[in-house]
Amino acid sequence: MSTMHRFEGKSVIVTGAARGIGAATAKRFADEGAKVLLVDLLPEVLETAKSVGGQGLVLDVALPGAGDAIVEAALAHAGRIDVLVNNAGVGGSKHLLKSDDESLSRIIDINLISLLRITRAVLPHLPQPGGSIVNLSSIFGMVGYPGTTAYAVAKAGVTQFTQQLTSEVAHLGIRVNAIAPGVVVTPMTAGHLQNPSYVKLMVDSTPMGRVCQPEEQAAVIAFLASEDASFVCGVTLPVDGGYLAARYTPNY
C-alpha cells in the first residue's frame, strides 16, 4: 500500500476496473486519496469498487454514448474529473486469416474506438492545467507477435493516439501518456500462462525472467498521472521487464 497522498481531493476514472490492472490501479489511486469511479462491463466491478471505497459503474465502453454516461457518473460521484485511465480492453485476437468481421470489429471497438469516444467526452471536464490521461497500450502494439493481429493493431493505435492527443491538448496543460505492459498476471493472460510455448516465448525471454503483477503496472500509471511526472507528456512507457529492449532465447 502506498504511503503517498498525491491524489487527495482528486477524482479519477478507471475503465476496465473489475479485475487485473484496472482493479489494482483503482486501489492505488484510492490508497493515495482519490475518489475513484470504476467502470466495467462485468457486474463484479461493483464489488471491486466497494472494496476500494470507490463508485462502480456497469457499462459496455464500446456502446455509443458510453463516454457521456461515464462523465455523468464521475461528476455525480466526485463533482469533478482530474484523471482518466483508459484501461478497458479485450483479448481473443487471432491470425488475420482466421479472424471474422465480428471479432475484428469488437476487438478494435473496445481497445481503440471506445478509448477515443470516452476521451472525447471527458476532455472538456479536465482541469486546464492539471488534467491527466493515461492510456493502456501493449508491447504487442510495438512489436510483431503472430496471432494477435486485431489486438496489436488496436494497441498500436493507442500509442499513436497518445502522441496525437498530446499535440492537441498539451498546450492546455493536460498531459497524455501511456504504458505498454508486458506479460501481467491477469484473468486475460491466465490461459496463455498455461501454454508452455507462450511461456517460453514471452516469459522466459523477458530479461527479468518473470511475469509482472498488476500492482506494478498500477504504480507506473499513478506516477504518470501525478505531478511527479509533470513534464512527461506524449510518452508510451514499456513496463515489460526489459522484453522490448533485450529479448533473448531462453538459456541464452
From 151, 198, 243, 248, the catalytic residue = 151
Whether 72 is covered by a domain: the verdict is yes
Where in the sequence is the domain holding 65, given as residue range(s)? 11-240
Q: Which residues of the chain have pLDDT under 70?
A: 1-3, 249-252
The enclosing domain of 84 has a CATH number of: 3.40.50.720
Residue 226 pLDDT: 98
pLDDT at 86: 98
Please tell me the pTM assigned to this model.
Answer: 0.94
Cβ-contact 66, 117 below 8 angstroms: yes
Number of domains in the chain: 1
15: left (phi over 0), alpha (psi -120 to 50) or beta: beta
Structural domain contains residue 248: no
- Contact (CB, 8 A) for 35 and 105: no
Q: What is the pLDDT of residue 252?
A: 56
Known catalytic membership, residue 151: yes
Residue 5 lies in a domain: no
Asked if the structure places residue 62 within a domain, the reply is: yes
Strand order across the 175-181 sheet: 55-58, 35-40, 11-15, 83-86, 132-136, 175-181, 236-239
Does residue 215 lie within any of the structural domains? yes
Q: Could you tell me if residue 59 is inside a domain?
A: yes
**Beta carbons within 8 Å of 95's beta carbon, 6+ residues apart:** 146, 147, 149
Predicted pLDDT of residue 193: 83
Q: So what's the pLDDT on residue 2?
A: 54
pLDDT the model gives residue 192: 78
Residue 19 belongs to some domain of the structure: yes
Question: Is position 105 within any domain?
Answer: yes
Render pLDDT for 36-78 as a digit per residue (tens, 0 to 9).
999 999 999 999 999 999 999 999 999 999 999 999 999 999 9
- pLDDT value, residue 89: 93
HEC string of 183-208 equals CECCCCCCCHHHCHHHHHHHHCCCCC
Q: C-alpha cell of 25?
A: 490501479
